[in-house]
Amino acid sequence: MQALSNTLPRKVTGSSVAEAGSRVSFGPAGPRVGPLDELARKDEGYGEELAYLMSVVSAWAYSDEKVLASKLRYYGLTGARVRRVAVQNNALLVVTTAYLIQSASGKTAILAFRGTDPGDFITVLTDGQVMLREFRNGRVHSGFFLSVEVVWDEIHESLMAAKEGKAVMTEGSETRLVDLPERLETLYVTGHSLGGAMAVLAAARLFGEGYEDFRAKVKGIYTFGQPMVGDRDFAKACEDDFQGRLHRHVFQDDFVPHLPPRSALKYAHSGGELRASRNDVCWRHTDEASGRAFLTVGAISVLLNAVESRISPVDFVPGYSIDDHMPLQYVEACRRVLDPHSAALSAQSGLVARAQAAGAAVREGFQRRFRILRAG
């Protein structure tokens, strides 16, 4: 495995296997997730175990293939094969990593995209006038398009091999095909932040020309803290293609789903979304999608919330938050659905809970004023 340079443009590929091993827990054991093939077989739409697994994969996609593979064996993916392709070109603002994770049988796979550093990503996102690129009956963010385009050759190669019951494995400078017991039957696509935007674009491409065999295989697109990807025509095309298979998660006051900010370009989300807060033990579906933020109002509220969260456990100041965008927030929210009595939830008890209750009325007053500003 090679590290990406901080300056030189380059492409790196690598593979690993989620080897079997004993599960040693450092603290209280987390929720158990069944084997991926079994989850896929029982999948009839949105799955809570699948959502938890996808949140974990999206979070650990910020590492490399060896670390990701070592975590997967704890989540029903012992023996899974992981292939990574990463491209970096700072001059083009491209820092892209994609993974194809194939179950030991080969029947089920996860196409996962890594996000990027929140500071760098939000710098790009807050440019509401970024160019749009023609794609799938609409127009999409040109930076997101390029991020997928630069790794698509390797994604295509790996998916075509999976369709034939094989895995592409890269070790050093050598790339070889490994036979798997079964051909690909089910594909999930996932990502956090920029990775979520890339997941939507990749899934949309798989519903396009040349990938007819994959349309029925894509059973779910799970995104976490995903920004808007394209205009209303693209959003409508995704709704028509995906037919309810896009599960877009938004945690509490996460700022990123409200980006890019308001401008002359008409960005929009596809369909509704699933929302949760720190006190929730379920994701609540709503047909209402996150609206676009005013850049100035959004930036001020993010700053105020960042300061408040570091000096008080109570949320008095309403508005957007960058802390709510962190991958761990989504992992813990999905974990609470399966394990409501987990350690993460216990932090809401005692003094903190009483303080939050005392501040609820104050926060509601602020929220009413903020909603008026945001609707401006």
Residue 360: what pLDDT? 43
| Better-predicted residue by pLDDT, 147 or 291 | 147
Structure tokens, 138: 């609409």
Q: What pLDDT does residue 343 have?
A: 47
CB 290 within 8 A of CB 250: yes
Q: DSSP letter at 183?
A: -
Please answer whether residues 80 and 17 qualify as being in contact, where contact means their C-beta atoms are separated by less than 8 angstroms. Answer: yes
Lowest mean pLDDT among 58-62, 160-164, 173-177: 173-177
Across residues 327-348, what is the average pLDDT?
77
Q: What 3-state DSSP class applies to 31?
A: coil
* Mean pLDDT, residues 236-242: 96
**CB within 8 Å of 29: residues ≥ 6 apart:** none
Q: Give residues with Cβ within 8 angstroms of 328, minimum separation 6.
A: 59
If you average pLDDT over residues 106-128, what whole number do you get? 74
Asked which of 108-117, 123-132, 241-250, 364-373 is least confident by mean pLDDT, the reply is: 364-373
3-state secondary structure of 87: strand
158-162 contacts, C-beta under 8 A, 24 or more apart? 158/83, 158/100, 159/100, 159/109, 159/111, 159/184, 159/187, 159/214, 162/100, 162/102, 162/106, 162/109
* Residue 96 identity: T
Are β-strands 108-113 and 186-192 bridged in parallel, bridged antiparallel, or unpaired?
parallel
- List the single range of 171-180, 267-276, 281-290, 337-346 with lowest mean pLDDT: 337-346
Residue 237 has pLDDT above 80, yes or no: yes
Output the pLDDT for position 303.
52
Compute the distance between CA of residue 151 and CA of residue 149 in angstroms, rounded to an integer: 6
Whether the predicted pLDDT of 252 surpasses 80: yes
pTM comes to 0.84
- In this prediction, residue 217 carries a pLDDT of 97
Q: Has residue 226 got a pLDDT over 80? A: yes
DSSP 261: P
Q: Contact, 246 vs 206, CB < 8 A? A: no
pLDDT at position 215 is: 94
Report d(CA 195, CA 116) in Å as an integer.
8
One-letter amino acid for residue 239 of the chain: E
Residues 109-133 have a mean pLDDT of: 71
286 or 94, which is more confident: 286
Q: Are 28 and 93 in contact (CB under 8 A)?
A: no
Nearest to 53 by CA among 206, 188, 173: 188
Q: How confident is the model at residue 351 (pLDDT cuts 50, 70, 90)?
A: very low
* 177-222 residue pLDDT tens: 999 999 999 999 999 999 999 999 999 999 999 999 999 999 999 9
What is 273-332 written as a DSSP string?
EEEE-TT-SSPEEESPPPPPPPHHHHHHHHHHHHHHHTT-SS--S-S-BSGGGSHHHHHH
Structure confidence by residue, pLDDT tens digits, 5-64: 455 567 889 999 998 876 666 666 678 888 999 999 999 899 999 999 999 999 999 999
All domains of the chain, ordered by start, with CATH? 10-19+32-292+327-339 (3.40.50.1820)
Whole-angstrom distance, CA of residue 183 vs CA of residue 362? 57
